[in-house]
Amino acid sequence: MNSDGSFHIYNGTKKLLQMDNAGTLYSRRVLVNLDTWPDYVFEKNYTLPTLKAIEHYIQENGHLPNVPSAAEVTQNGLDLGEMNKILLQKVEELTLHLIDQDKRIAELEKALQSKKSVNP
């Protein structure tokens, strides 16, 4: 422990890790080992929640489904590996919704073009 209350780990002269007296951890890299990853979102049997269901959940709970609330994080802290997994799941779900919406927009544009060509 240093005189300012901080803690450092060195490899020779290179600082590898530091924790200051406020509890902030500084590192060059953090590796989190996880047993699962949310690629299951892209499997055919995955039930993608509808945007309407997500909207309803947010109105009722004030946060996204399966994401810890601010109160939970304040009380219990945050598991970085688990949170990254949750966030990736949400990004993957949003990507699927965007792909679906893009297809729907293309169909509507095609229908609009067909209607314009029939009724100039």
pLDDT in tens, 34-66: 999 999 999 999 999 999 999 999 999 999 999
pLDDT score at 118: 74
Q: What mean pLDDT do residues 72-77 have?
A: 96
- Domain holding 5, by residue range, is 1-30
Asked if residue 64 and residue 6 are part of one domain, the reply reads: no
**Same domain for 77 and 59:** yes
Q: Edge-to-edge strand order for the sheet containing 7-11? A: 7-11, 14-19, 25-27
What is the rounded distance in angstroms from the CA atom of residue 62 to the CA atom of residue 60? 6
Q: HSE of 62 in the Cβ direction (CA atoms, 13 Å)?
A: 4
Q: Are residues 38 and 1 located together in one domain of the fold?
A: no
What is the value of pTM for the model shown? Answer: 0.81
- Answer yes or no: do 9 and 20 share one domain: yes
pLDDT score of 119 more than 80: no
Same domain, residue pair 53 and 90:
yes
Q: Are 62 and 69 in contact (CB under 8 A)?
A: yes
Does 38 lie in the same domain as 17? no
Same domain, 105 and 74: yes
- Given a contact cutoff of 8 angstroms between Cβ atoms, the answer to whether 66 and 41 are in contact is no
